[in-house]
Chain A
């Protein structure tokens, strides 16, 4: 059975800290791994990772994939209160179908 597991479940940090969120996956037909940020509303897309070892960056956020060890990490440097959200990781399960992890709830304190 395909599955995606995220850790930690929740995290509380102070502004300026750096955080690392983890996502491990077991899927039978890997194509890509997706990261989303969900605040109070719908998930918004952050990154799509398809190749091992190639870092994707967007401002203070970055992510990398390890296809050998079947995991991905999402890094956020110099965190801000606006980074407080649930971060979701998704892996493919079948054609054009994705399964999501339970998410990591990040709270950044001022």
Chain B
């Protein structure tokens, strides 16, 4: 299995631009998680899905952030408009219900200038 796939791996953008991060979970996994990691705040859970349905988005920082999962093999995290404080590494992870191990993707390193 290829593991969790994320794209792009690096993104540099200017403040005010729209940013879309993409994730393909491990085939057969029915839970998908989006995390953000910064030096100041560590690893934070933003939102997670079960069977493509958002279950808990209480970690989404503000309305500029949105996430979708149109099907079992694809999810996006969108930031519009982006701000410099959004600069972080964004991880996607997936798991199979009943097994609490989450498998992380390689992350997208976002820099907003």
Q: Which residues of A contact B (CB under 8 A)?
A: 31-32, 34, 41-45, 48, 88, 92, 94-103
Contact B42 A101, beta carbon cutoff 8 Å: yes
Question: Can you list 6 A-B pairs, Cβ within 8 angstroms, ordered by A?
Answer: A41-B107, A45-B103, A98-B45, A98-B100, A99-B45, A100-B42
Contact B101 A100, beta carbon cutoff 8 Å: no
A-B contact count (CB 8 A): 47
Contact A44 B104, beta carbon cutoff 8 Å: yes
B interface, by DSSP: helix, strand, loop or mixed? Answer: strand
A98-B55 Cα distance, complex, nearest whole Å? 13
Provide the B71-113 mask, 1 if CB < 8 A to any CB of A, else 0. 0000000000000000000010001010011111111000000
Contact B43 A34, beta carbon cutoff 8 Å: no
Interface centre among B42, B48, B103 (most CB of A within 10 A): B42
What number of B residues sit within 8 Å (CB to CB) of A? Answer: 20
Chain A nearest CB, measured from B35 CB (Å): 8
A103-B95 Cα distance, complex, nearest whole Å? 22
Contact B56 A97, beta carbon cutoff 8 Å: yes
Contact B56 A94, beta carbon cutoff 8 Å: yes
A96-B45 Cα distance, complex, nearest whole Å? 11
Contact B43 A88, beta carbon cutoff 8 Å: yes
Residues of A within 8 A of B48 (CB): 96-97
Contact A97 B45, beta carbon cutoff 8 Å: yes
Contact pick for A48, options B44, B55, B100, CB 8 Å: B100
